[in-house]
Amino acid sequence: MSDCCSKSTCSDSFPRKHTCPSNGEQYSSVSTATIRHHIKDPWAWQPENQGYYFCSAPDCSVVYFGQDNSVIESDSLRTLVGVKSESNDALVCYCYGITNAEANNNPLTRQFVVQEKKSGNCACTARNPSGRCCLANFPKGSNT
């Protein structure tokens, strides 16, 4: 799982960033494989040959969007997107089920994830809706 952008899921011919059609901000690309892991009825989704992107804005209902401005909103996912929720139960780390509350109250959670990442035990590209490592989403001050 260490190759987050295999030839079958991503292409260098698409821009790495694109503007969300809902909020006008720029966001990073995400693989179609990541999207398939999080949408309801992935067998029914037919991605176009274009770049797809992950919108992390908490106040935006769009989670994924394409270069053609097609969107996949939160209600079309089977996963609660932690960066879009202020709930203590929202996940920070999808590989190990670490919630906002746990990350805020126990600095050992971040240390654990750092070690697991170093050991190659994370599956961020499939489990995290952003397709990226969760360490940047841990609360500030949980680095101890």
Domains of the chain, residue spans? 17-76, 82-137
Report the top-level CATH class of 82-137: mainly alpha
Q: Confidence band (pLDDT; 50, 70, 90) for 79?
A: confident
Domains 17-76 and 82-137 share a fold: no
- The whole-number pLDDT of residue 144 equals 47
State the pTM of this model: 0.86
Q: SS3 for the chain, per residue?
A: CCCCCCCCCCCCCCCCEEECCCCCCEEEEECHHHHHHHECCHHHCCCCCCCEEECCCCCCCEEEEECCCCEEEHHHECCCCHHHCCCCCCEEECCCCEEHHHHHHCCHHHHHHHHHHHCCCCCHHHHCCCCCCHHHHCCCCCCC
Phi/psi of residue 28, each to 5°? -85, 160
Contact 134, 128 (CB under 8 A): yes
Q: What is the CATH code for 17-76?
A: 2.20.25.270
Q: Confidence band (pLDDT; 50, 70, 90) for 6?
A: very low
